[in-house]
Amino acid sequence: MYGSRLQTLAIASVVTLAGGFALAAFYAPMDADQGFMQKIFYLHVPLAIVALGGFVFGAYQAVQHLRTGDPSRDLKSYVAIHMSLILGIGALVTGSIWARASWGKWWVWDEPTLVAFLIIFLLYCTYQPLRFSIEDRDRQARYASVFAVTAGVFTPLNFLAVRLADPLIHPRTLDSQDNLPGEMRLAFLVCLLGMALLYVTLWKFELTHKHARAQLRSLKRKLGAADAARGRSAAPEATVS
């Protein structure tokens, strides 16, 4: 039941992302200043926005976990944060390449958006070490959720704090109308949608994978096989229905 809509979702995200990139490459006008290099914008900004959205989504699932005590919510929160971290690495790498191309430096410290993203990324990097260092499963799940909620609240607050410091070069993508002409805006929004779909697909895929593995393990146990020795893992265990 977990993999039911996975195929549709996967096709939809491939089509949307490919369409978005095609729009970005052929339909959106070439940037007057930066030329072709500006096209990385259609990859970098959706990556960053979806990663941040994923962190907040993980926090939402963690709130639900704390409220209901349902272990599957903990698994959902874990996978959401896990996927966001991967997209976050992508956003940092593409951002760095873009910064090198357009500002001449790999990293710019006086730019709040970059710094805020890095701080949030570093904070979430401690999520897995935290889980790993708590052995009791219930406590691990509860503490991880407390962390996810705290960090989820921290994410917008941190951006607010650094945004109030005067922004210098990093463009604001969504709040200024004259920043993006219509064609660029359309291509960007399609790319953003595609990236969000990709995130949801990966998230569901990982959940399906974890459930399939848990089911396989319980079947093996029923067949009387010795429980395969598992390495220690930070990931929550899926419950077999």
Partner 1 sequence: MGRAVSALLRKELRLELRTPQVIPAMALFGVTTLVIFHFSLQRDTVEGDLAAGVLVVTLLFAAMLGINRLFVADHEEGGFDGFLLAPVDRTAMLVAKALALTGFLVVVELLLVPAFGFLLLGPAMTFELLWKVAAILLLADAGVAIVGTLVGALAIQTRARDLIVPLIGLPLLVPVVIGAAKALAPALDAAGAGALPGRWLAILGLYDLVFGLVAYAVFDFLLED
Binding site residues, partner 1, CB under 8 A: 66, 119-120, 122-123, 126, 129-130, 133-135, 139, 142-143, 145-147, 149-151, 153-154, 157-158, 160-162, 164-165
SS3 assignment, position 104: coil
Nearer residue to partner 1 within complex by CB, 9 or 62: 62
Alpha carbons 193 and 13: distance in angstroms, whole number: 8
3 state SS of 165: coil
Taking the least distance from each CB to partner 1, the nearer of 59 and 187 is 59
CA distance 112 to 23: 30
Output the smallest distance, CB 232 to partner 1, in A: 11
| Shortest spacing between CB 161 and partner 1, in angstroms | 4
Instruction: Please compute Rg for the chain using Cα positions.
Output: 20
- In DSSP terms, 31 is beta-bridged to 35
- With H, G, I as helix, E, B as strand and everything else as coil, classify residue 156: helix
Q: How far is the CB of 45 from partner 1 (least distance, A)?
A: 23
Name the residue nearer to partner 1 (CB basis): 161 or 216: 161
Tell me the closest approach of the beta carbon of residue 213 to partner 1, in angstroms. Answer: 26
Q: Side chain identity at 211, as an amino acid letter?
A: H
Which H or E run includes 205? helix 182-222
Distance, CA of 41 to CA of 222 (rounded, Å): 52
Measured from the CB of residue 147, what is the shortest distance to partner 1 in angstroms?
A: 6
